Structure 1
Amino acid sequence: MSAEVKQSLARGQFEDTIRLARQALQTEQSESQQKELRYCIAVAYRLKGDILQAIKSNTDNIQRNPEYARTYQELGYCFLAQQQHQDAANYFYRATQLNPALVACWRNLLTFYQQTQNHKAEHIAQLQLTRLEKLPKAILGARDLMYEGQLEGADKVCRQYLQQHKHDAEALTLLGELGIQLKAYPEAEFVLESCVALHPQHYFAGLEYIKLLNQIGKFSQSLKICEQLLKHHSQDKPLQLAKAGALLGIGDISASIELYQQLLKEDEQQPYIQLLLGHALKANGQIEDAIAAYQMARQFKPDFGDAYWSLANTKTYRFSESELQSMENLTNTAETNLEDKIHIHFALGKALEDAKEYQQSFLHYESGNKLKQAQTGYDISAMERQVDRQITACNQALFSNLTGCGAEDPAPIFIVGLPRAGSTLLEQILASHSQVEGTMELHNVLSLVSKLRGKANAYPENLQEIEPAYFQRFGEQYLKDTQIYRSDKAFFIDKMPNNFMHVGLIKLMLPNAKVIDARRAPMDCCFSGYKQLFGEGQEFSYDLDSIARYYRSYEKLMAHWDQVLPGFVLKVQHEDVIDDVETQIRRLLDFCGLEFEAQCLRFYETQRAIKTPSSEQVKQPINRKGQDRWRHYETHLQPLKERFLSPRD
């Protein structure tokens, strides 16, 4: 934004500000600068007393940039000027949800809650305001930058501050949060672990550390930190929620459900906790109870997109006409925030697909995917480069030179592939065997990869430089860290699909492990992924061209593993399982060195917790319901057809 516009606004020359900002908009190419210029125009209108025009400007700005917190703050000021205190508070609140570092919003909210005697909300606002006012000015500014998406700027300010205040708890906490935002998880873990060691009673550092540990799948470690902090904050709700999440992560689902229910006994009108309870109930196979919890979440927050999507994602729930109309309305109003809108589009896509209204269904799938793609900014070319680097680095010479290294335990069975390719079915079949433990999508290999990659992005090339003895340590550490998910069974499953990228590393550190490639016909697999809104990761799935290129790169890499590691990976084609389930099950068990057991044929009777979108589908006998569903949408799937179908198809 031009310095002239800023100076004009600071001097109170509001007409000049509007004129100069509009002139600058004609040539300014940067989206962030355009956003700032439009914001200045709205501020100038309000300050010169033209409130209606200010409201219009802000409303237009929300349409263009629905995630910009200061626009909502401005609307709060506009309605405050008109003595519409409830509307003002609503917009101040929405601003704080997007940017919790907006001190002025919290002050206005505190005043409103005091006047309306909303003591619960007043307490929350006071806590937030107290913390923000105690922050060093530089760290408050860096937090503001972080929440506005300027991560590099925030990181720079934070590191400069730490040069002068080496062990400052708030600065270290913020640096850890920035690492999480940048997906630099090993660095974030190191920073937060160090901060907690230096400041064991620091609530916010501990809470961020716990959240990270849950995110990267270190649930047992998270649980320990939770228990430590709960000794001093026994009634703290965020800590109790984190503990419930960790309990769910280690497989103690009953204890997790009990804790969520305990929190809801105090106050059932907590939509987010109702949602989490629904997820835990669903994982436990209590689908009707899960649906009831999702409905409660939606009841208490009518625009709660995740509640609508969670209902749709049960794969069994059917929305009423009135529900569908309400959802349509929510996608068409600027008041619905971006995250909720994305979830509702996907829910409508699924609901209209069930109703066989395929044209309207695709429009919603497409809208949800476009919004999600814009939010993630995913670039498929980076993944393609990663595949090429794996092929170059993990060559025949590497494995010949490192023969015999790694931990010899044959217990791990890795199921890899693309999401929605049938991996949950294979896991359910294997987990029905008396000697096999079904676990979940474990993050342990990906965490090791992050450490090996380091700041210099040295992986996988550095596999050729690592001392052979280290691979045994890697394998032993993996076995130790995953023990929390196991009982006394001889084998266990790690179903993280993205591990297909790291089959070479798996071979080096666990040479006797088994790797199963869950493969599904590309049109079905890719379109099924496009229809799915994932909880985290899988950013490639929100664009048809990206998902097609991802599938081709995956095929290319799996072919490489077959060439340099013959016999280490078993490909199981989903369509072959459908056509002859017993033959494929026997083939699967034989590859894993397991005796045939008849209960594997009755896999749908096996009772176990499943946390993936296919949880209900694998509790039914083999069927063809998922085959060729893409044909209903064929006219919209040109990017997939160009790569996967010959003209005669």
Structure 2
Amino acid sequence: MNPASPDDRADAGWQAGEQMLQRGDSEGAIVAFEANLSRAPGHVQTLLALSAALSRKGRHRRPRQLVVQAHDAVPDVAQLLFAVSLGLYRFNEFARLKETLARPVFRAEAPPRILAEAAAGLVAAGDTASAMQLVERALQIDPGCAAALYFRGNLRSFGGDTAGARADYLACLDSDPRMFQASWMLTGLRTATPGDNRVDRLLREATEAVPGGHGECFVRYALYKEANDLGRHQLAWQSLERACQIGKRTSRFDRDRFTRLVDRMLATFDARMLARQSTVRLASTPVFIVGMFRSGTTLLERILAGHSVVTDGGETYAFAEEVRTEVDRGFDGAFDVSVLDGIDCIDLDAIATRYSASAAWLSKGRAMFTEKLPSNFMNVGLIAMALPRAKIIHIRRDPMDTCFANLTTLFSGAVDHANDQHDVAAYYNGYARLMRHWEALLPDRVLTLDYRALVEDPASHAMRIAEYCGLDYEPGMLDVGRAGGSIATASTAQVRQGILRGRSGAWRPYAAHLQPMLRDLGVPVPAVAAGNPA
């Protein structure tokens, strides 16, 4: 009998730890993984398994380091490269993510669905060109791969190719009729009309989807959109209400906890705290665009990225990632109470130094780049402290227009407040309180714009934006519907149409159903309750 090779022994040690996890012995698994790494420091599966196990314990700094070690050690095996890419995506390690998925063996050997899923990670990292290459490779192997057709449809939609996106989504549904997310994406490509709508198809799909599952949620949001376009407000509201019920079941948003977090932030970030400054200087300048989701942040990014020295960095958690690493806490979203717990010990220079690597990736060699994660309004104080030269632009929109747009949008799991009227209003009220605080204490750092005023007079606002950023105004800033660039947000279709006016008041046909939100926001209910009910 031949003795086990070092690789076999390393695999056995990793599998022993995995078996402990399956039995619920997380502490024993961590010990087993640590022991295996002491014998085989570059064993990729163990590095990833230990990273995940420590992350489940709330740790963040070492889990991130372990994933970077896995990246450095991973051999040319497609399955392992994909596993490492998932870890890198989790920690916003964009440059390493691209390098991992660029290896020729991955494109040559990964199956079509894995290629398509890897492409989604590259989109999140802002590399749509490499993402499209992976998707095209997947479809070269299997022209009927539903996942690849769906992701290519997304890429085409993000790039403004509406006809191509429509063809891909329809082909996706032909290949797999239960890819209901393709039906949802189809509805966003155009405004439904009596002669061109999918209402009957969506009503049928609603009966075919698993009740209360993700598929039904996609269909219900799509049905709301189609029915609303057609003025069928009763059907639209019924569909939206059902979609929100499904989403609420998995939401972890706690409005009381969020309100307490905002209270504590207001008390913590006073003038003395905000006077602390990092001494690190970045090679390029980030322009943070903050506000509520669906408040005009995508439009603002397109205006900025129309300038010759600015590139669009997209919607990333790059800054939040460096805060997580600093406080060694793997929280979701942009901010967490654990940041406040360790605020006096935070090393601002360390945050800035680590963020500079992301800045180099996001800037693509230009002098300025956008950071368009709306929920970075939570991080305005830390951004001002850690990145003294960063620009911060806040765009605000009418409270009801904003909150109704949140309620009617199917977000990813990163947005948990949007399935309930009380939750949306509580999130908006907390956001408004924080922004008033930042504006009062950082008047020279934060530029606030009003969405309605921006769309009514875009030229003067673009000039104001350029001046604030220290740039000369360029007419190209107003060409937001231009070809080029990728818009991977819920506002893709609208922004590609240019700067649109008259988009306020979409909630009014549903005013009779929106009394909880109206009251929580302090909107005078009697003034709207007599409107056009559904």
> Which is greater in Rg?
1
Judged with a 3 Å threshold, the aligned counterparts in structure 2 of structure 1 residues 534 and 215 are, in CA distance, closer, same or farther, namely farther
The amino acid of 1:453's aligned partner reads V
For 1:437 and 1:231, the matched residues in 2 are separated by 31
1:158 to 2:29 alignment: yes
1:297 to 2:172 alignment: yes
Cα offset, 1:610, TM superposition: 1.2
Q: 1:575 aligns with which of 452, 473, 476?
A: 452
- Residue 124 of structure 2 contacts residue 316 of structure 2 at CA under 8 Å; is this kept in 1? no
Provide the TM-score with structure 1 as the length reference: 0.70
Q: Paired residue for 1:265?
A: 140
The amino acid of 1:463's aligned partner reads I
**Superposition CA RMSD, Å:** 3.2
Identity of aligned residues (%): 23
Q: Paired residue for 1:349?
A: 224
Q: Paired residue for 2:281?
A: 407
1:535 to 2:383 alignment: no
Q: Paired residue for 1:499?
A: 376
Cα offset, 1:564, TM superposition: 2.2
Judged with a 3 Å threshold, the aligned counterparts in structure 2 of structure 1 residues 308 and 242 are, in CA distance, closer, same or farther, namely closer
1:646 to 2:524 alignment: yes
- In terms of mean alpha carbon deviation, does 451-460 or 262-271 score higher? 451-460
Q: Paired residue for 1:595?
A: 472
The amino acid of 2:488's aligned partner reads K
For 1:373 and 1:285, the matched residues in 2 are separated by 32
Q: Paired residue for 1:63?
A: none
Gaps of 5+ in 1: 1-131, 146-152
Q: Paired residue for 1:443?
A: 317
Judged with a 3 Å threshold, the aligned counterparts in structure 2 of structure 1 residues 508 and 528 are, in CA distance, closer, same or farther, namely same
Deviation by residue 1:291-323 (Cα, 9 ceiling, x = unmatched) = 111111111111212111111233546697894
For 1:443 and 1:158, the matched residues in 2 are separated by 30
For 1:306 and 1:499, the matched residues in 2 are separated by 28
Q: Paired residue for 2:290?
A: 416
Deviation by residue 1:89-111 (Cα, 9 ceiling, x = unmatched) = xxxxxxxxxxxxxxxxxxxxxxx
Greater per-residue helix proportion: 1
Q: Paired residue for 1:613?
A: 490
- Residue 156 of structure 2 contacts residue 165 of structure 2 at CA under 8 Å; is this kept in 1? yes
Cα offset, 1:594, TM superposition: 1.9
For 2:177 and 2:252, the matched residues in 1 are separated by 29
Q: Paired residue for 1:139?
A: 18
Q: Secondary structure at the match of 2:492?
A: coil
Q: Secondary structure at the match of 1:234?
A: helix
- In terms of mean alpha carbon deviation, does 211-220 or 167-176 score higher? 167-176
- Residue 76 of structure 2 contacts residue 105 of structure 2 at CA under 8 Å; is this kept in 1? no
Judged with a 3 Å threshold, the aligned counterparts in structure 2 of structure 1 residues 435 and 232 are, in CA distance, closer, same or farther, namely closer
Deviation by residue 1:81-138 (Cα, 9 ceiling, x = unmatched) = xxxxxxxxxxxxxxxxxxxxxxxxxxxxxxxxxxxxxxxxxxxxxxxxxxx9998477
Equivalenced residue count is 505
Q: Paired residue for 2:7?
A: none
Judged with a 3 Å threshold, the aligned counterparts in structure 2 of structure 1 residues 343 and 176 are, in CA distance, closer, same or farther, namely farther
Judged with a 3 Å threshold, the aligned counterparts in structure 2 of structure 1 residues 407 and 280 are, in CA distance, closer, same or farther, namely same
Cα offset, 1:169, TM superposition: 6.0
- Residue 530 of structure 1 contacts residue 541 of structure 1 at CA under 8 Å; is this kept in 2? yes
The amino acid of 1:551's aligned partner reads Y
Judged with a 3 Å threshold, the aligned counterparts in structure 2 of structure 1 residues 605 and 380 are, in CA distance, closer, same or farther, namely same
1:464 to 2:338 alignment: no
Deviation by residue 1:255-305 (Cα, 9 ceiling, x = unmatched) = 432331232122222111111111111122211101111111111111212
Judged with a 3 Å threshold, the aligned counterparts in structure 2 of structure 1 residues 315 and 433 are, in CA distance, closer, same or farther, namely same
The amino acid of 1:541's aligned partner reads A
Judged with a 3 Å threshold, the aligned counterparts in structure 2 of structure 1 residues 163 and 438 are, in CA distance, closer, same or farther, namely closer
Deviation by residue 1:16-57 (Cα, 9 ceiling, x = unmatched) = xxxxxxxxxxxxxxxxxxxxxxxxxxxxxxxxxxxxxxxxxx
Q: Paired residue for 1:284?
A: 159
Cα offset, 1:460, TM superposition: 2.8
Judged with a 3 Å threshold, the aligned counterparts in structure 2 of structure 1 residues 487 and 510 are, in CA distance, closer, same or farther, namely same
For 2:187 and 2:154, the matched residues in 1 are separated by 13
Q: Secondary structure at the match of 1:629?
A: coil
- Residue 406 of structure 1 contacts residue 475 of structure 1 at CA under 8 Å; is this kept in 2? yes
- Residue 405 of structure 1 contacts residue 508 of structure 1 at CA under 8 Å; is this kept in 2? no
Gaps of 5+ in 2: 1-10, 331-336, 528-534
Q: Paired residue for 1:454?
A: 328
Q: Secondary structure at the match of 1:439?
A: coil
For 2:231 and 2:208, the matched residues in 1 are separated by 26
For 2:278 and 2:35, the matched residues in 1 are separated by 49
The amino acid of 1:481's aligned partner reads S
Query: For residues 34-433 of structure 1, what are the structure 2 equivalents within 5 Å?
Result: 136=15, 139-140=18-19, 142-143=21-22, 153=24, 155-156=26-27, 158-159=29-30, 161-162=32-33, 165=36, 172-177=47-52, 186=61, 188-195=63-70, 200=75, 206-227=81-102, 231=105, 234-237=108-111, 240-241=115-116, 244-245=119-120, 247-249=122-124, 251-316=126-191, 323-333=198-208, 335=210, 338-400=213-275, 402-403=276-277, 405-407=279-281, 411-433=285-307
Q: Secondary structure at the match of 1:542?
A: coil
- Residue 81 of structure 2 contacts residue 106 of structure 2 at CA under 8 Å; is this kept in 1? no
Cα offset, 1:410, TM superposition: 6.6
